[in-house]
Amino acid sequence: MNWLVPLVVALPLFSAGLALTQASRPRVQAIISITTISLVLIDAIWMLALVDAGPLVLNVGEWNAPVGIALVVDRLSALMLVVSSVVLLGVLLYSVSQGTSMERRDSRTPVSVFHPTYLVLAAGVGNAFISGDLFNIYVAFEILLGASFVLITLGATGERIRAGTIYVVVSLASSILFLTALALIYAATGTLTLATLAERLPELPVGTQTVLQVMLLLGFGIKAAIFPLSAWLPDSYPTAPAPVTAVFAGLLTKVGIYAIIRTQVLLFPANDALDDVLIVLSILTMVIGILGAVAQNDLKRLLSFTLVSHIGYMLFGIAIANQVGLAATIFYVAHHITVQTALFLVAGWIEQRGGTTSLDELGGLAKLAPMLAVVFFVPAMNLAGIPPLSGFMGKVGLLQAAADAATPLAYAAIAAGLLTSLLTLYAIVKAWNKAFWQSSPKPLPTVRIRRGMIGAATAIVGASTAITLVAGPLYAYATSAARDLTLRTPYINAVLVDGERGEGESAEVAGTEGSDGSEGSGSEGSGSESETGSGSQGQEDDDE
């Protein structure tokens, strides 16, 4: 069933081209997009059921893993694919309804561009989660960057162009760092395949490993919006259309977190000094992010700052560097993707109903739109970590991991986590009080909200709440995924079946083996004899 793996990229890319040919037919484009993301979701659920038996690996073109491109889906990838597909589908349904109404009022809104670009974005997200080598993760980030710039500047207003420019400049800086790190890693090891790197990087001097690790962390840290690399986010996301902001906030920062988890655990499993630095950064990300949220009077900016602060929780779990912390982080990522997306969709609903997201100009929505009040209140409390919702369970898991670590920095992180949770509750209650409870300073416009928007936003809120109902099985799954990650061998052995190469077979190698017999296989096998220089032999393999 390995053929299921590339579908999460191939289907959206094919459909993006198909949607482009239907530029004058928005309804057809919408059908294509919804059908495609639905199929990707089915594919992801199917793979989630299969990975219990081991990771799914596809060697593109039947080329062996260190030479060719390996696409890998393990427990972590499968969970990320399912959650991201649910969110992509929910946001798409919301935007289809909102986009139709926008088209009538504003002819400049290029709805025909939205669908192909959104599908390309979905392909980039899927590619990031299934990539078995660093270069393809880089390619996935570039796909996301191109699609994101188009989406964030939809409508081409001055504010969106400014925000899009900031986003692109920051993302390019991240890409340059990442690309430089890739060049150095390839020069040092002769490969970019993750499974092979997991074996070769420990052979490098400790100083070289640390430099490469720091460069990767800087590149991914910008994507994930870790303090002090997070200043761009609150200025960029709130200006985009509501569904675009929702999918960016829910997914794109988590792609950065996913890359950090994958590389830190698989490639650099032991670096206590750097783990301590990450804990300090996680504390600063949590506290400074939530202080920024408390100071905001605009709902979208408030949510953007809470997004930054809660990235700190995830980094905190990674930095604790034990299985309990990693399991809690995986659970918290799944929870946060759905909750943050739900809140931004509801913020878009509030913007349409009240005509603004300024908390100083809103008021009385609890009386005017009681259902809106409910669908904001539930995920907001979930974000704050009110028991027994999934946010509470994720935070308890993270705090337990820190308590198990029992170091002064871990205890400081516990204090920062509790403070952040309290301040999140304060910020959310302040927003609730101003927007829903207090009287509006002036009458709000009478606007009819489309049922599609209401249904899609409510569905995502329901999905985020449903995580609470399946928290036990989901936590068990996250624990299994964390065990596989910390063991490392399930991933490595799945990609490098015989310990050196994947199970794909190139025609040249097969021909060499056939004509030379033991000579040909001896050439491959010498790569495992590290005292004779496995790096140089690996280089020769890659040059093939």
pLDDT tens digits for range 349-398: 999 888 889 998 998 898 888 999 999 999 999 999 999 999 999 999 99
Average of per-residue pLDDT across 159-179: 86
3-state helix, strand, coil in the chain (%, to 5): 80, 0, 20
Nearest to 321 by CA among 489, 485, 76: 485
Tokens read off for 314: 């995830």
Residue given tokens 């009458």 in the structure block: 443
- DSSP letters along 193-252, please? BHHHHHHHGGGS-HHHHHHHHHHHHHHHHHHHT-TTTTTTHHHHGGGS-HHHHHHIIIII
Tokens read off for 287: 């506290």
Average of per-residue pLDDT across 476-504: 84
Tokens read off for 179: 């690309």
pTM beyond cutoff 0.85:
yes
Q: What is the pLDDT of residues 181-220, one digit of tens each?
A: 999 999 999 899 999 999 999 999 999 999 999 999 999 9
Annotate 269-303 with b (16+ C-beta within 10 A) or e (fewer): eebeebbbebbebbbbbbbbbbebbeebebbbbbb
Average of per-residue pLDDT across 264-292: 91
Bridge partners of residue 460, in order along the sequence: none
Distance from C-alpha of 8 to C-alpha of 5, rounded to nearest angstrom: 7
Find how far residue 104's CA is from the centre of its chain.
33
Q: 60 with 1: CB under 8 angstroms?
A: no
Q: 110 with 103: CB under 8 angstroms?
A: no
pLDDT of res. 238: 79
Distance from C-alpha of 326 to C-alpha of 425, rounded to nearest angstrom: 25
Confidence of residue 537 (pLDDT cuts 50, 70, 90): very low
Task: Give the DSSP H/E element, type plus range, for residue 180.
Answer: helix 158-189
Cis peptide before 445 (omega within 30 of 0): no
- DSSP letters along 19-51, please? HHTTTT-HHHHHHHHHHHHHHHHHHHHHHHHHG
Nearest to 170 by CA among 105, 232, 257, 77: 232
Q: 3-state class of 190 per DSSP?
A: coil
Residue given tokens 């991991």 in the structure block: 401
What length does the chain have?
A: 544
Q: What is the pLDDT of residues 250-273, one digit of tens each?
A: 888 899 999 999 999 999 987 778
Q: What is the pLDDT of residues 415-459, one digit of tens each?
A: 999 999 999 999 999 999 999 988 888 888 888 888 888 999 999
pLDDT of res. 110: 53
Q: 111 with 81: CB under 8 angstroms?
A: no
Annotate 216-249 with b (16+ C-beta within 10 A) or e (fewer): bbbbbbbbbbbbebbebbbebbbbbbbbbbbbbb
Q: Which residue type does 264 have?
A: Q
